[in-house]
Structure 1
Amino acid sequence: MKYFYTLCILATTLLLGSCNSSELIENWKNPDIETFEAQKVLVLAMTSDVKNRELFEKRLVEKLQEKGVNAYNSAAFFNSEFTSRPRTEEELDNLEREMLTEGYDAILVSKVLGAEDKVTLVQSYRNWDKRFNGFEDDYYTSQNIYVEDERVEKFTVYHAESALYCICPTKDREIIWKGSIDVTEPDSDRKAIKDYINLLVWVLEEQDVLVLSQID
């Protein structure tokens, strides 16, 4: 099973590598879930660069809406005041409850983790096997991203991860899908964001999570 998983990643990488600068590095889907369709999904980008955070969310929301997904950016819940200091697990649990009240049943989180060289990349991949119980755990351990310096702009390789979490009221709040994507030597931040989003949405559709494949 492990070898099949690796071959799938390599095949996808080769297929998409010639199309743009983005490359799928890791791709994991909850084995207990065949398909997942959200009624209302919140799109959250975690990075210290506010301008690119807003641009990423705007473009991803537009792309998902084009695919028929009821998606919204995070401004209502994750404004500058909320990200100005670390939040406790209790505060994040209350936030999830507020999302449920507002009709959200899923959240798509994307984190930018820059890397200058392969040594740093290998170190970041070592954390791949860390499993989060849900969005609350992921956000709690990653929120330092908001206060880091903007050195990511200097990197020739953008290493980023996205994860889709269910926050459904009738079931455990669990991870549905997780993927890791590299964008190498982009011409600009806008190009990097465009390439990342295109690949992200393609993978979600291939996995039948959030963006469901259309069957003729």
Structure 2
Amino acid sequence: MKSLMYIFVLALLVSCSTARVTDSWINNDYANYQPNKILIIGLTDNLSGRTLFEEQLKKELSNRGIEAVESYKVFKPTFTSSKQTEEEIDEEIKRLSKDGFDAVLISAVKGVDEKISYSGDDFRTNYYWRRFGRYYYLTQDVYHVNGYYNKYKIYHIEASLYNLKEDNDKSLVWVASYDIIDPKQINKTVTNYVTAITKSLEKHQIIKSN
């Protein structure tokens, strides 16, 4: 589905951690908007991750009375296997609208930060080491202990909901940003991300609370 990168993107990580919402916004023109049929799109090279996400989010939306369909059941392999022009994507959007879809969920990884945490004793700020020997003794593990510094990544993800019935600058209904910290397992990552998305949509009353 790389052909859809410029218009609908849902990036899934191949591992897992807590998804934390950092910001969210809703278009005031859609104060009472509630979609009826949403296309869920998972963009990832991990086929199992894509399938898992789309099926989990479909279940959550269905439990709230919204018809939702997984993208792997809608897009033809010939459409997703090669890069499409804007005109070809527009034609696909028209087809989706004719099939009754009035919204599409979009998400993209906006950036990845690599962080380093200190794995030794807690950093002390209330005094200075008076002797070099003592300082060196307590700090030398940086040379000798594997994992003295722990590296981890923070994935910044932006999810959006677009109204397919509008083809203008006002078609964006809702957008939210999430941070996923040091992902480890695909099942938990997908579950946490789906939960974070549904909570955001509930908060803005786009979907009903379960």
TM-score normalised by structure 1 residue count: 0.65
Partner of residue 204, structure 2: 207
Distance in 2 of aligned mates of 1:49 and 1:81? 18
What pairs up with 1:1-216 in 2 under 5 angstroms? 21-113=18-110, 115-117=112-114, 156-168=153-165, 172=168, 174-209=171-206, 211-213=207-209
Q: Any gaps of 5 or more consecutive residues in structure 1?
A: 1-19, 119-153
Distance in 2 of aligned mates of 1:189 and 1:75? 19
Q: Is the CA contact 1:112–1:159 (under 8 Å) kept in the aligned structure 2?
A: yes
User: Identity over the aligned pairs, expressed in percent?
Assistant: 30
**Runs of 4+ displaced beyond 6 Å:** none
* Cα displacement (A) at 1:213: 4.7
The size of the alignment, in residue pairs, is: 158
Partner of residue 134, structure 2: none
Q: Any gaps of 5 or more consecutive residues in structure 2?
A: 1-16, 116-150
Partner of residue 128, structure 2: none
Letter in 1 for 2:208: L
Partner of residue 7, structure 2: none
Tell me the SS of whatever aligns to 2:30.
coil
Distance in 2 of aligned mates of 1:105 and 1:155? 39
* Cα displacement (A) at 1:114: 5.7
Q: Is the CA contact 1:160–1:182 (under 8 Å) kept in the aligned structure 2?
A: yes
Q: Is the CA contact 1:44–1:108 (under 8 Å) kept in the aligned structure 2?
A: yes
Distance in 2 of aligned mates of 1:49 and 1:193? 12
Letter in 2 for 1:45: G
Distance in 1 of aligned mates of 2:102 and 2:152? 35
Letter in 2 for 1:58: E
- Root-mean-square deviation over aligned CA pairs: 2.4
Q: Is the CA contact 2:64–2:209 (under 8 Å) kept in the aligned structure 1?
A: no
Deviations 1:160-194 (A, max 9, x none): 2211000127x757110011111212340111111
Distance in 1 of aligned mates of 2:176 and 2:75? 22
* Cα displacement (A) at 1:43: 0.6
When residues 49 and 80 of structure 1 are mapped into structure 2, their CA distance, relative to the original with a 3 A threshold, is farther
Q: Is the CA contact 1:46–1:112 (under 8 Å) kept in the aligned structure 2?
A: no
TM-score normalised by structure 2 residue count: 0.67
Which has the larger strand fraction? 2
- Larger-Rg structure: 2
Distance in 1 of aligned mates of 2:63 and 2:209? 13
Distance in 1 of aligned mates of 2:76 and 2:182? 30
